[in-house]
Structure 1
Amino acid sequence: MNDGFDFDFDLDELAPADDASAEAVERFWSGDLTAVTKHHIAPDRSRGYVVAHDRTAVWGAPGAPQVMAIAVARDLQQFTFTLETSHHATVPFAQNWLVERGCPPAKIAQIAKGYLDPADDLTLQVEQQIRESGTRYEVLDTYTSDSGPCETWTLTRDSQADQVPVRLFLEEWDHDAGTYTVREGAFADVDAARSWLEDRDGPLPEPPEYRYDDGAVLRARTRAALARSAGTSAIPKTGPAAPTPVAVPVQRPVQGRLL
């Protein structure tokens, strides 16, 4: 599902509206991208949104995010366009970035065929939560590993959490089964989350809001409203398309900067 340079944005007769868009075009090479999901605003296609798998990420720094979000706005009166791109560790965070730029959540939720499928309803629930969260989560760090283990995680700070505000979203891939899971973990601070990532000495701590007062698990809250077609990992079912880097140990913050 690769649609060429502009992913069908029809930019041939238009000029970049600003320096940032011109620079983005210079960096943009769709031959290395495969569209995972996309949406165009009808009827004049004045805006377009794409989530894509960036196959070049495996050649970059170890752990680099492999999902790109692309937003294009076309001004047909001025014959100009703006182009924005942003890298993310997982599809839901890329979708969230696009939703914040005007894309309807339901329109960008439908995923192309050929990618890993969500393994369970909880995965769908957590993905929907991220996709529709607005500016709730401040992303602190991400890491993607294509081998040993096959996973990606996003470390965030939850502005709505009264307790354990540092939230870790862990996506794990099972290529043999053709599925993946997404889980949310809750920690008091960044150091606690990083310690868990390094040691994996117990299950991922669930957020306190996952439970009712009587101890019943909250997971079933939205299952009836979710459709399985609404989620798919950006990782192809056949695995990475290029040689994969060796995962390096998770690094702790240095001089207050998250690495």
Structure 2
Amino acid sequence: MSNTADFRLDGLTPADEFSAEAEGDIELWDDLFSALAEHHTVDGKQSFFVIHDGSATWGIPGAPQVIALHITRDLTACAFRIEQADHPTVPFAQLWLADRGCPPDAIQLPQDQHIEPADALTIRIENQIRHSGTRYETKDHYTHDSVPYETWVMVRDSDPSAADLPVRIFLEETDLDTFTYTLREGAFRDGTSANQWLFDRDTPLPEPPEHMISADRRTRAALARSTTGRLATASSAPTPPPGPAPSPGAQSHRGGGRS
């Protein structure tokens, strides 16, 4: 997929002032807007985009660099509307688009075309955010676009499993040497302790208890599968035919002693 987004606005006019301004921004910053993912409905009435905003690096320090953009078209009136929002990371942009009707799995980044997740945990946490609905309320975020490349997002988690540690930090760290990134989740009692961790960084990001429980369950399930497989292999092994009885001389040699 080309990095140039196909907004499909030819022959259409903006339906309101905001859409007109958004179209102007698209045209003005076209060379700095890179489409990371896009999805178009079959009827042509809606399009969803995740865009990297390269112009943000010259703006306010820490500003988000991902844009979620939703286009709706009235094909009868030949008009369009644009709704958009800035986000610190791709999964939160995908979540915003999902709330506006985009299937969450339809707006994922294509493989082998962008920087890749470094491990399975990164993929799992991204999927968790993408499908979280109204679970997270974003409180703060910061994007550091020089070494060390990282973005953190502080949210309040309304899920019952997070009642004791409702403030969460999602920390995304990028390694340009390997062209990969990791995403981790930290759990805190309140915003003060979360901010203190961000300031000090003198301990590892505290992992949510539910992650450790989930990891333990996966480990036990894997062990159970492994044990079941070994038992099945052992039970299906053919019984060897009886061999000749060992001679008395052979028995004495296995005894190991000399008379």
- Residues 217, 200 of structure 1: alpha-carbon distance in 2 compared, 3 angstrom cutoff: farther
Measured in 1, the distance between the counterparts of 2:104 and 2:215 equals 29
Measured in 2, the distance between the counterparts of 1:219 and 1:125 equals 13
Aligned partner of 1:24 in structure 2 is: 22
Aligned partner of 1:224 in structure 2 is: none
Measured in 1, the distance between the counterparts of 2:217 and 2:142 equals 28
* CA offsets 1:93-138 (integer angstroms, 9 cap, x no match): 0111111111111110132644211111000000000011111111
TM-score w.r.t. the length of structure 1 is 0.78
Partner SS for 2:183:
strand
**1:39 counterpart letter in structure 2:** H
- Aligned-residue sequence identity (percent) comes to 53
State which drifts further: 142-151 or 165-174. 142-151
**2:211 counterpart letter in structure 1:** Y
Runs of at least 5 residues in structure 2 that lack an aligned partner in the other structure: 221-259
Measured in 1, the distance between the counterparts of 2:142 and 2:106 equals 27
Equivalences for residues 153-168 of structure 1 within 5 A: 153-160=152-159, 161-168=162-169
Residue of 14, 30, 34 corresponding to 2:12: 14
Aligned partner of 2:185 in structure 1 is: 184
Aligned partner of 2:41 in structure 1 is: 41
- Residues 78, 137 of structure 1: alpha-carbon distance in 2 compared, 3 angstrom cutoff: same
**2:55 counterpart letter in structure 1:** T
TM-score w.r.t. the length of structure 2 is 0.78
Aligned partner of 1:174 in structure 2 is: 175
Aligned partner of 1:81 in structure 2 is: 80
How many corresponding residue pairs? 216
Aligned partner of 2:237 in structure 1 is: none
- Residues 123, 220 of structure 1: alpha-carbon distance in 2 compared, 3 angstrom cutoff: farther
Aligned partner of 1:248 in structure 2 is: none
Instruction: Check the 8 A contact 1:37/1:112 in 2, yes or no.
Output: no
RMSD: 2.0
Q: Which has the larger radius of gyration?
A: 2
* CA offsets 1:57-83 (integer angstroms, 9 cap, x no match): 110011111111111011111211110
Partner SS for 1:135:
coil
Aligned-residue offset at 1:220: 6.9
Instruction: Check the 8 A contact 1:69/1:85 in 2, yes or no.
Output: yes
State which drifts further: 9-18 or 132-141. 9-18
Runs of at least 5 residues in structure 1 that lack an aligned partner in the other structure: 222-259
- Residues 109, 197 of structure 1: alpha-carbon distance in 2 compared, 3 angstrom cutoff: same
Aligned-residue offset at 1:216: 5.2
Partner SS for 2:68:
strand
Measured in 2, the distance between the counterparts of 1:219 and 1:105 equals 25
**1:69 counterpart letter in structure 2:** A
Moved over 3 A (4+): 215-221
**1:60 counterpart letter in structure 2:** G
**2:10 counterpart letter in structure 1:** D
Partner SS for 1:130:
helix
Aligned-residue offset at 1:218: 5.7
Partner SS for 2:185:
strand
